């Protein structure tokens, strides 16, 4: 018996990075996982299948779709509940990043990033909470923000703004749906994912990203462990909070 046996989870942005690690970690704890992404999910499902012999109760499905599309967001929530009989956990993780000086940032850049990072989180969160509310058995929502929601960063202003919006959604939903649905966020620091592309950075940028108290970038699995905690039985008195697995980059 593992900590999430009998629970079902929807994880967006699950094809790579933090989303993939979260989907695998939730499955390892016994959850049935719907892995959702606009990209192919073969690697994520294969990794979950590889651990299923140790956790035979874990099941997984792939849902291809765009979180910024309302129809796809509705389908993600409904397909998860239909396949597994419930939707108990949402990891609202899909996101993109754009590096651009403000004076060179176009309206199209702004709209594209906000569509995925903030509109997508809103849409999938709304539909998952709709399903959870209808079940009458509560639920957990874990939103992915960023350390940059607190710090800001030159030439990343739109990304930072989108993650600040995630923090506000988290607090507002936590108040609106308590005590039945617990809503929290993780705000990772620099993490070795395809989005960060740490290996291909210049030495100067690698040094900058690692210039934090723990002197290294994080691993996706280190963020996933916090997500598993927030989804599990140890977090029953936690809502409206943002956890910062960031190597000490931010100390609120």
Of 25-29, 57-61, 153-157, which range is least confident? 57-61
Q: Output the average pLDDT for the chain.
A: 93
Residue 56 clears pLDDT 60, i.e. is over it: no
Give the pair of three-digit tokens for residue 103. Answer: 């004076």
pLDDT at position 194, please?
87
pLDDT at position 210, please?
78
Residue 129 clears pLDDT 80, i.e. is over it: yes
Residue 145 clears pLDDT 90, i.e. is over it: yes
pLDDT tens digit sequence for 176-195: 999 999 999 999 999 998 87
Residue 203 clears pLDDT 70, i.e. is over it: no
Of 52-56, 62-66, 143-147, 231-235, which range is least confident? 52-56
159 is catalytic: yes
Percent of the chain with pLDDT over 90: 84
Cβ neighbours, 10 Å, residue 236: 11
Cis, bond preceding 179 (omega within 30 deg of 0): yes
Give the pair of three-digit tokens for residue 34. Answer: 């719907």
Of 55-59, 88-92, 102-106, 223-227, which range is least confident? 55-59
Which residue in the list 32, 150, 163, 208 is annotated as catalytic? 163
What does the pLDDT average to over 8-37? Answer: 97
What does the pLDDT average to over 81-97? Answer: 97
Residue 202 clears pLDDT 70, i.e. is over it: no
What does the pLDDT average to over 26-47? Answer: 96
58 band by pLDDT with thresholds 50, 70 and 90: low
Which residue in the list 7, 32, 150, 159 is annotated as catalytic? 159
pLDDT at position 195, please?
77
Q: At what angle do helices 70-84 and 120-135 cross, to 10 degrees?
A: 30
Q: At what angle do helices 120-135 and 157-177 cross, to 10 degrees?
A: 10
Residue 197 clears pLDDT 70, i.e. is over it: no
pLDDT at position 246, please?
93
The half-sphere exposure of 55 on its side-chain side, counting CA atoms within 13 A, is: 24
Domains of the chain: 8-243 (3.40.50.720)
Residue 200 clears pLDDT 80, i.e. is over it: no
């Amino acid at each position: 018996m593992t900590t999430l046996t009998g629970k079902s989870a929807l994880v967006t942005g699950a094809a790579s990075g933090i989303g993939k690690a979260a989907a695998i970690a939730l499955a390892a704890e016994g959850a049935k996982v719907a892995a959702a992404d606009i990209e192919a999910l073969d690697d994520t499902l294969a990794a979950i299948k590889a651990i299923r012999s140790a956790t035979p109760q874990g099941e997984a499905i792939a849902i291809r779709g765009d979180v910024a599309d309302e129809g796809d967001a509705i389908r993600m929530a409904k397909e998860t509940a239909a396949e597994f009989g419930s939707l108990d956990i949402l990891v609202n993780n899909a996101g993109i990043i754009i590096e651009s000086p403000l004076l060179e940032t176009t309206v199209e850049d702004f709209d594209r990033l906000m569509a995925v990072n903030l509109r997508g989180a809103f849409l999938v969160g709304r539909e998952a909470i709709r399903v959870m509310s209808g079940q009458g058995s509560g639920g957990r929502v874990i939103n992915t923000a960023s350390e940059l929601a607190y710090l800001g960063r030159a030439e990343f202003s739109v990304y930072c703004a989108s993650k600040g919006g995630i923090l506000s959604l988290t607090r507002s939903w936590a108040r609106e749906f308590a005590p039945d649905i617990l809503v929290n966020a993780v705000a990772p620091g620099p993490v070795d994912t395809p989005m960060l592309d740490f290996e291909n950075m210049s030495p100067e940028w690698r040094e900058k990203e690692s210039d934090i108290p723990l002197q290294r970038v994080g691993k996706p699995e280190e963020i996933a462990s916090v997500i598993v905690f927030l989804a599990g039985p140890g977090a029953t008195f936690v809502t409206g909070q943002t956890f910062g697995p960031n190597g000490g980059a931010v100390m609120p």
